[in-house]
Amino acid sequence: MADLKNDFIGIKSPNPFWLASAPPTDKAYNVERAFEAGWGGVVWKTLGEAGPPVVNVNGPRYGAWHDGNRRLMGFNNIELITDRSLEVNLAEITQVKKNWPDRAVVVSIMVPCDERSWKSILPLVEETGADGIELNFGCPHGMSERGMGAAVGQVPEYVGMVAEWCKQHSSLPVIVKLTPNITDIRQPARAAFKGGADAVSLINTINSIIGVDLDAMAPAPHVDGKGSHGGYCGPAVKPIALSMVSEIARDKETYRKPISAIGGIQTWRDAAEFMALGAGNVQVCTAVMTYGFKIVEEMIDGMSRWMDEKGYNTVDDFIGMAVPNVVNWEHLNLNYIAKAKINQETCIKCGRCHIACEDTSHQAITSSLNGEPHYEVRDEDCVGCNLCVNVCPVKDCITLEQMTEGKDPRTGIPISGEYANWTTHPNNPNVK
């Protein structure tokens, strides 16, 4: 069996599956249950400074976007950092780490953006025996209005500055959690590493309003008729997170720097995808809030089997393997010609490929033959856009197949085995 052991910036855990700083890691009771279920580590729910803790609303904190089957696709929350006292949390962290020495316990922290505040909390956290700290620069709601969370994460200079304070006043490894509510994710990532951070984690949640209650004419769900934007997460945000992780993974300034990936991870496959794009491990939240801690069993088993199948002995064998294949658009091979092909054996004649192509794309799919429904691609019109593949309800019924010889029936241009991209294309005004 493949070895799932994970060493992330010196923090060891039996597997790369951690729970993200969030409600599931708010107290010892939950964390102990998570460890019993098999989670490799947790990032303890964000601690604030000493004194009276924050308060949460007493109405709905969560909202969701479901598909027709009530499968939870996207999730929104307006919960704040821990609303329990610092002392209670520190005591519990100490005990949990004692009970579970082989698991990773990282503590998320968010205090006001001044050196004194950070300097005072860091030793307290270090005393717990925790393995590292994660700086919450991502929370987009409630805390950011108080100059914390995303308010810091959106200013790269602050990100670097606080990372530097933490490295200065603590010997623990420092992970900087990034907000996706920013135009260029590479800027805060670069700043974090410049400030001395050991790793970044991303994405935190995305600013969101989950829906509007058209009777109340207020965001849904609402608190006494009013709503506030929250943070979006769950399966729907995975593609955004994958992209942001890949941007940091392939950025020259942060290339091969440690990344802990977060964003819609539900299965071993999701995790493997993030890791292939350069993440050293992953953090999960919405999936356990939907299904409970037990899902880690599938993640462990699934990833091990896949690694065995592929011949990977350790997770390090495949981390980052897909990074070189993420390129800018101008480096895509314009001589690669592909055409959609519909398998008539498995086609169920729903006609979705036809109407999608006919109404919205290139009019390249027939709808009938001899008066009977019949869906077939006309190569002379097909641009290989993949829309039909995506809308077909039957898996693998429509495939995009590369042409390797002859002429492209659409353009009449002979198929060339040569790689050629936009940077040398005659239509590119920058060429010559």
Q: How far is the CB of 357 from another protein (least distance, A)?
A: 10
Q: Of 70 and 252, which has the nearer Cβ to another protein? A: 70
Q: Which residues are catalytic?
A: 139
Q: Of 338 and 355, which has the nearer Cβ to another protein? A: 355
Q: How far is the CB of 346 from another protein (least distance, A)?
A: 8
The three-class DSSP label of residue 201 is strand
Only segment of 126-134, 204-212, 352-360, 380-388 that touches another protein (CB under 8 A): 352-360
Exposure b/e, 177-198, CB count within 10 A at least 16 = b? bbbbbbeebbbbbbbbbbbebb
**Of 185, 354, 376, 377, which one interacts with another protein (CB under 8 A)?**
354
Q: What one-letter code names the amino acid at 87?
A: E
36 is an interface residue for another protein by CB under 8 A = no
330 is an interface residue for another protein by CB under 8 A = no
> What are the phi and psi torsion angles at 122 (to 5°)?
-60, -45
Q: What one-letter code names the amino acid at 301?
A: D
Closest CA to 176 of 165, 189, 185, 161: 189
**Of 51, 52, 68, 324, which one interacts with another protein (CB under 8 A)?**
68
> What are the phi and psi torsion angles at 37 (to 5°)?
-75, -20
Q: How far is the CB of 34 from another protein (least distance, A)?
A: 31
Closest CA to 188 of 219, 146, 145, 150: 150
Q: What one-letter code names the amino acid at 177?
A: K
Cite the beta strand spans of 102-214 per DSSP E: 104-109, 132-136, 174-177, 199-202, 206-208, 212-213
**Which residue is associated with the tokens 């109340």?**
216
116 is an interface residue for another protein by CB under 8 A = no
373 is an interface residue for another protein by CB under 8 A = yes
Q: Residue 51: left if φ>0, alpha if ψ -120 to 50, beta else—which one?
A: left
348 is an interface residue for another protein by CB under 8 A = yes
Instruction: State the virtual CA torsion across 180, 186, 191, 193 in degrees, nearest 10.
Output: 100
321 is an interface residue for another protein by CB under 8 A = no
369 is an interface residue for another protein by CB under 8 A = no
Only segment of 7-15, 180-188, 344-352, 406-414 that touches another protein (CB under 8 A): 344-352
Only segment of 64-72, 102-110, 156-164, 401-409 that touches another protein (CB under 8 A): 64-72
- Residue 353 CA to residue 345 CA, distance in Å, equals 15
**Of 54, 240, 334, 355, which one interacts with another protein (CB under 8 A)?**
355
292 is an interface residue for another protein by CB under 8 A = no
Residues 176-215 that bind another protein (CB under 8 A): none
- What end-to-end distance do the CA atoms of the chain give, in Å? 55
> How big is the site for another protein, counted in residues (CB under 8 A)?
15
Q: Dihedral of CA 80/86/88/91: which sign?
A: positive
Q: Are 283 and 266 in contact (CB under 8 A)?
A: no
366 is an interface residue for another protein by CB under 8 A = no
Q: Of 371 and 406, which has the nearer Cβ to another protein? A: 371
**Of 51, 393, 412, 426, which one interacts with another protein (CB under 8 A)?**
393
Q: Please state whether beta strands 199-202 and 174-177 pair in parallel, antiparallel, or not at all (unpaired).
A: parallel
Q: How far is the CB of 367 from another protein (least distance, A)?
A: 6
- Residue 385 CA to residue 362 CA, distance in Å, equals 9
343 is an interface residue for another protein by CB under 8 A = no
Q: How far is the CB of 351 from another protein (least distance, A)?
A: 3
Q: How far is the CB of 386 from another protein (least distance, A)?
A: 19
- Residue 47 CA to residue 85 CA, distance in Å, equals 8
Other C-beta atoms lying within 10 Å of the C-beta of residue 23 = 18
**Which residue is associated with the tokens 């200079």?**
157
Q: Please state whether beta strands 218-219 and 199-202 pair in parallel, antiparallel, or not at all (unpaired).
A: unpaired
**Residue 130, Cβ density class (10 Å: 0-12 exposed, 13-18 middle, ≥19 buried):** buried
Only segment of 16-24, 226-234, 249-257, 350-358 that touches another protein (CB under 8 A): 350-358
Only segment of 45-53, 65-73, 238-246, 320-328 that touches another protein (CB under 8 A): 65-73
367 is an interface residue for another protein by CB under 8 A = yes
Q: How far is the CB of 286 from another protein (least distance, A)?
A: 21
Q: Of 58 and 69, which has the nearer Cβ to another protein? A: 69
Q: How far is the CB of 295 from another protein (least distance, A)?
A: 22
Q: Which residues lie across from 176 on neighbouring strands?
A: 135, 200
429 is an interface residue for another protein by CB under 8 A = no
Under the rule (CB under 8 A), what is the footprint of another protein?
Answer: 67-70, 348-352, 354-355, 367, 373, 393-394
